Amino acid sequence: MPRASGQFRIWLALALVPLLSGCLGAVALPLLAGGTLMATDEHRVRAATQVAPPAIAPAATAGAKAEDAILSAKPMPTQLTELPPPSNASATVSDDGWQPFFTYAQARRSPKDAKTIESALLKQPPTIDSPVRLKCAAPVAAVVIDLDEGSQTFDPGGLVPAPARVAEGLAQLRQEGIVVLWITRLPAGRAAEVAQALRASGLDPQGQDQLLLLRNARDRKQLLREDASKDVCVVAIAGDQRGDFDELFDYLRNPGGAVGLYPIMGHGWFLVPSLARPAGSAG
């Protein structure tokens, strides 16, 4: 009976193709797998803002069988406004501090028992003297990279070409199945701009990473990080200030005096140079 039910759903989907034929050029049909409609086959983070897929050209499905049109339709990458820098290009931004970040994340890429792997996030509310890390609730490793420069909000137009070693390190993480998440305090309505900037810079040339953007006026980056940890194991965070790791630092009178948090620096938290100019900056 379950098999018959699955076949019925497939035939129902095929029967709807003529009705949707005029819409195929405007939408990307989801994949049909095991009788279930799915957007993609990659691991999705519910806290991430999803960029609406662009239209599929009519020629992409012209002449194809109805079943192939449904099964092969996938979101297509947005068009680049500029090409990513070549792999041998000189680094526009110093990549000092990035290699330890990549090395640490790769060493934790396949947690066999997620509950025994310590997250880069702290159990809330955190304590300065004896912080406790969250235990991972998901078996998929992920990294979070903060795009904001200090207290200045990320400007998608100010993202500079990716240093070659940074772009290569990110590519290696993805190849090993590590989810890459980009976070900024920009609102979710600007997701397309952020995604386009990451593609054009060479940081995410295939447009496969996910974005953590503010979903409403009450949202905070701390909540985004915590919500993301429900779907992935955030093993490492990269940012240009300590507040990118936990908002606790934003409330400390002397962040440098939080000696109890020192052991996490370099072991989950990594200070790296900013990859972008802040909004409103010159140049």
Write the CATH number for 254: 3.40.50.1000
pLDDT for residue 235: 95
Band of pLDDT at residue 36, cut at 50, 70 and 90? very low
Distance spanning both ends of the chain, measured CA to CA: 65
Q: How far from 209 is each of 65, 120, 143, 256, 266, CA to CA, in Å?
A: 31, 19, 11, 32, 23
As a whole number, the mean pLDDT across the chain is: 72
**One domain, residues 54 and 177:** no
Band of pLDDT at residue 249, cut at 50, 70 and 90? confident
**One domain, residues 136 and 273:** yes
Band of pLDDT at residue 277, cut at 50, 70 and 90? low
**One domain, residues 20 and 105:** no
**One domain, residues 169 and 239:** yes
**One domain, residues 55 and 165:** no
Is 89 part of any domain?
Answer: no
Average pLDDT rounded to a whole number, residues 116-122: 84
Of residues 81 and 136, more confidently modeled:
136
**One domain, residues 127 and 22:** no
Quick one: which of 200, 196, 166 has its CA closest to 273?
166
Is 31 part of any domain?
Answer: yes
Band of pLDDT at residue 27, cut at 50, 70 and 90? very low
Band of pLDDT at residue 143, cut at 50, 70 and 90? very high
Q: Is 219 helix (H, G, I), strand (E, B) or coil?
A: coil
pLDDT of residue 144 exceeding 90, the answer is: yes
Q: How far from 199 is each of 50, 53, 98, 160, 252, CA to CA, in Å?
A: 15, 14, 19, 11, 36
- The total number of structural domains in the chain stands at 2
Q: Which residues pair with 157 in a beta bridge?
A: none
Q: Is 170 helix (H, G, I), strand (E, B) or coil?
A: helix
**One domain, residues 258 and 140:** yes
Specify the range with the lowest mean pLDDT, choosing from 12-16, 20-24, 46-50, 217-221: 20-24
pLDDT of residue 54 exceeding 80, the answer is: no
pLDDT of residue 140 exceeding 70, the answer is: yes
pLDDT for residue 279: 45
Reported as half-sphere exposure (CB side, CA atoms, 13 A), residue 193 has a value of 13
Of residues 200 and 95, more confidently modeled:
200
pLDDT for residue 13: 40
What's the pLDDT tens digit per position in 153-211?
999 998 989 999 999 999 999 999 999 999 999 999 999 999 999 999 999 999 999 99
Most confident segment among 9-13, 99-103, 253-257: 99-103
Band of pLDDT at residue 78, cut at 50, 70 and 90? very low
Quick one: which of 38, 86, 96 has its CA closest to 202?
86
Average pLDDT rounded to a whole number, residues 42-50: 89
- Residue 261, both tokens: 């948090």
**One domain, residues 42 and 172:** no
pLDDT for residue 110: 61
Is 80 part of any domain?
Answer: no
pLDDT of residue 116 exceeding 90, the answer is: no
pLDDT of residue 150 exceeding 50, the answer is: yes
Is 81 part of any domain?
Answer: no
pLDDT for residue 101: 97
What are the phi and psi torsion angles at 143 (to 5°)? -125, 150
Q: Is 89 helix (H, G, I), strand (E, B) or coil?
A: coil
What residues make up the domain containing 29? Answer: 2-72
Cα 92 from Cα 181, distance rounded (Å): 22
Average pLDDT rounded to a whole number, residues 96-110: 88
